[in-house]
Chains A and B, each alone.
Chain A
Amino acid sequence: MAQTTTLGAITQPAHPVRSRTWLAVASLWWRELVRFYRQRSRVIGVILSPLVFWLVIGSGFGTSFRSGSAAGGQHYLEYFYPGALIMIVLFTSIFTMMSVIEDRKEGFLLSVLVAPISRSAIVLAKVLGGTTLSAIQGLIFLVFAPAVGAHIGGAQFGLIVLITALVSFCLTSLGFAVAWKMESAQGFHAVVNLFLIPLWLLSGALFPITGASGWIRALMLANPLTYGVEALRAALFPAMASPRFPLGSSIAVLAVFSAVVFAVAFLLANRRSTKPAA
């Protein structure tokens, strides 16, 4: 390579290729967002689905459960609100990771896999991309907070953003881990459907953990979403009497869960094998 003959337009000196992990992460993350907003149907879906969701839930539950007070003297709609936000985040987080399968199919993933960057950069960029999108969608849902009597101040908003982002990150990592080995979107759907609804039902979104018994209670305690819902409830209604878990510990548990699921996603993606990568 020492004797580079230069002819015509070719005057580039040879340069050593450096790996800049954060540049790669930022670039791949940005690509996720650009791809998202260039697909109009996805943008419409993200903005409209929380609105439609609340319209249906709000008008339905509003009349059916007006008198019922499910937990700690709250109206059910009030009780349900954090769980509804988590549900939106849950669906969006998991399903944005279908893009892993798309990237594999379209060949884009291959060109990333042969680049001299750490696999953790690839996983982190994909997961952060999904996290950003689903957190935005979750936060759009906050416009209905006043309807359930939650008035959000600045610090409170910061806290809610943090919780929503953590939940999104955890779930997006989970989606990545599932999507990585999948060959088709159908396969992904099949696997995801197995745990998506149970995950949500057993998160305290519908019924409180205090009323649950035995093994259901154990499952709820092992479910990261439980801590997301609880933390969100505590952040939205700070005046509410004694949250079941202190806000700080809920957030800590969420962070630990996120780290563990991300590590699993990374380990899966980092494995090199004697099977074709795509």
Chain B
Amino acid sequence: MPLPDVESVPASQDVRAESPVIRIERLGHRYDQRQALDDVSFDVRPAEIFGLLGPNGSGKTTLFRILSTLMLATEGRATIMGHDAAREPNQVRREIGVVFQAASVDAKLTAAENLRHQGHLYGLSGRTLKRRIAEMLGRVGLADRARDRVETLSGGQQRRVELAKGLMHHPAVLLLDEPSTGLDPGARRDLWLYLKMLRDEERVTVVVTTHLMEEAEHCDRLAILNEGKLVALGTPAELKREIGGEVIVMEAREPQSLARRIAERFGGPCNVIDGKVRLEREHGHRFVTDVVEAFPGEIDSISVSKPTLEDVFIDRTGHRFWTGPESGTP
């Protein structure tokens, strides 16, 4: 399918002149039996927040593992800042900061101790390290908790230590796996504000995996994955625009037959998803009156809405985000 290539990052920065920060080329991965990632290619540009959106089992975690040098891909290539993730892992590791979905901070150590060890792993020591620890704790709002053991901090605070840990060496690329897991709405908002600040003020390139539509909306650009394949790539706005017009959903007693007859009468694709008749139309509000008049008494309810990212997903895969055949497998 043709992949759109439209400018998406803050207008003040001319990014197209720069080479991509991450280049994924025909990347594929096969666990014993299952093809978890299948011929995926895309670029991530400097200083953008790039989202990998997909349901469980879509391949985004596999892609994350390959990018973070934790696993070798079985096919294709991933390059970060010009270094091959498979062949030059240490060069890649210097450039990336990684925030895992599960906590990686040591709960028995204090927040500052965690950062000190992390700094040592990246060759920081002495005064530089001390300054960096203070700076990072200040930036995530935990300066006053530096000496507290991580196990005594709240879940949200622990995630902040996690983030500070990933940023200790000022990486050019920050990789985050499902970063808002376990965060309340307030903490989630703070996280996104912070990621945007990193992007705008330090030109950090941020890659976020997520299965949450509302989180994907924050990203500058998105790659939507389904069953290991790249099904959409672009800015959230552009992807939704491609739907064309509005999304109309109808409840009916006999959705299959209604869908068939609507398609016959009005033309264009008309699907049944989750027992509801669903179609995409320009000038949706006008279509509503037409369809209700055409099939009196057959439609129990009808709704018109602007397309969401979930609609993009349905449009590209033919099924809902959460009811894919692969759901339930890791």
- A interface vs B, CB < 8 Å? 1, 3-10, 12, 14-20, 23-24, 26-28, 31, 34-35, 38-39, 106-108, 110-117, 272-278
Pull 24 A–B residue pairs with CB atoms less than 8 Å apart, ordered by A.
Answer: A5-B200, A6-B201, A8-B201, A12-B135, A15-B128, A17-B122, A18-B122, A19-B94, A19-B123, A20-B123, A23-B123, A31-B106, A31-B113, A34-B108, A107-B100, A108-B104, A110-B70, A114-B93, A117-B121, A273-B72, A274-B71, A276-B65, A276-B70, A277-B65
Q: Do A275 and B121 form a contact, CB below 8 Å, given A14-B170, A108-B105, A111-B165? A: no
In the assembled complex, the CB of B119 is this many whole angstroms from the nearest CB of chain A, namely: 8
CB of B319 closer than 8 Å to a CB of A: no
Among all A-B residue pairs, the 4 with the closest Cβ atoms: A27-B120, A18-B123, A111-B104, A116-B93
Bound complex: CA of A34 vs CA of B118, how far in Å?
15
**B residues less than 8 Å from A112 (CB atoms):** 121
CB of B125 closer than 8 Å to a CB of A: yes
Q: Is the CB of B93 within 8 A of A115?
A: yes
- Please name 16 further chain A to chain B contacts, defined as beta carbons within 8 Å, in addition to the given A26-B120, A107-B102, sorted by A numbering: A5-B203, A8-B201, A9-B135, A10-B139, A16-B94, A19-B90, A23-B125, A27-B116, A28-B117, A106-B102, A106-B107, A110-B98, A272-B72, A274-B73, A275-B31, A275-B71
**B residues less than 8 Å from A5 (CB atoms):** 200-203
**A residues less than 8 Å from B135 (CB atoms):** 9, 12
In the assembled complex, the CB of A277 is this many whole angstroms from the nearest CB of chain B, namely: 4
In the assembled complex, the CB of A274 is this many whole angstroms from the nearest CB of chain B, namely: 5
CB of B160 closer than 8 Å to a CB of A: no
Closest to A116 in B: B93
Complex partner residue of B121 from A8, A27, A34, CB under 8 angstroms: A27
Q: How large is the interface on B (under 10, 10 to 19, 20 to 34, 35 or more residues)?
A: 35 or more
Complex partner residue of B106 from A26, A35, A116, CB under 8 angstroms: A35
In the assembled complex, the CB of B302 is this many whole angstroms from the nearest CB of chain A, namely: 46
Bitwise, B245-268 to A at CB < 8 A (1) or not (0) is 000000000000000000000000
Q: Is the CB of A1 within 8 A of B203?
A: yes
Bound complex: CA of A39 vs CA of B98, how far in Å?
28
In the assembled complex, the CB of A95 is this many whole angstroms from the nearest CB of chain B, namely: 18
Q: Is the CB of B117 within 8 A of A114?
A: no
Q: Is the CB of B117 within 8 A of A31?
A: yes
Q: Is the CB of B104 within 8 A of A110?
A: yes
Bound complex: CA of A115 vs CA of B65, how far in Å?
14
In the assembled complex, the CB of A71 is this many whole angstroms from the nearest CB of chain B, namely: 45
CB of B275 closer than 8 Å to a CB of A: no
CB of B271 closer than 8 Å to a CB of A: no
**B residues less than 8 Å from A106 (CB atoms):** 102-104, 106-107
Q: Do A35 and B121 form a contact, CB below 8 Å, given A114-B93, A114-B96, A273-B72? A: no
Bound complex: CA of A34 vs CA of B108, how far in Å?
8
**A residues less than 8 Å from B69 (CB atoms):** 114
Interface centre among A12, A27, A34, A115, by most chain B C-beta atoms within 10 angstroms, is A115
Closest to B118 in A: A111
Bound complex: CA of A275 vs CA of B202, how far in Å?
34
Bound complex: CA of A19 vs CA of B104, how far in Å?
20
CB of B74 closer than 8 Å to a CB of A: yes
**B residues less than 8 Å from A20 (CB atoms):** 120, 123, 125
Interface centre among B69, B122, B125, by most chain A C-beta atoms within 10 angstroms, is B122
CB of B240 closer than 8 Å to a CB of A: no
Closest to A14 in B: B170
Q: Is the CB of A34 within 8 A of B93?
A: no
**A residues less than 8 Å from B107 (CB atoms):** 106
**A residues less than 8 Å from B73 (CB atoms):** 274
Q: Is the CB of A7 within 8 A of B96?
A: no
**B residues less than 8 Å from A1 (CB atoms):** 172, 203
CB of B276 closer than 8 Å to a CB of A: no
Bound complex: CA of A138 vs CA of B65, how far in Å?
41
Bound complex: CA of A215 vs CA of B109, how far in Å?
49
Q: Is the CB of B102 within 8 A of A15?
A: no
In the assembled complex, the CB of B240 is this many whole angstroms from the nearest CB of chain A, namely: 31
CB of B269 closer than 8 Å to a CB of A: no
**B residues less than 8 Å from A31 (CB atoms):** 106, 109, 113, 117
CB of B324 closer than 8 Å to a CB of A: no
Within 8 A of A (CB), among B80-120: 89-91, 93-94, 96, 98, 100, 102-109, 113, 116-118, 120
CB of B76 closer than 8 Å to a CB of A: no
In the assembled complex, the CB of B107 is this many whole angstroms from the nearest CB of chain A, namely: 7
**B residues less than 8 Å from A113 (CB atoms):** 70
In the assembled complex, the CB of A273 is this many whole angstroms from the nearest CB of chain B, namely: 6
Complex partner residue of A276 from B71, B96, B122, CB under 8 angstroms: B71
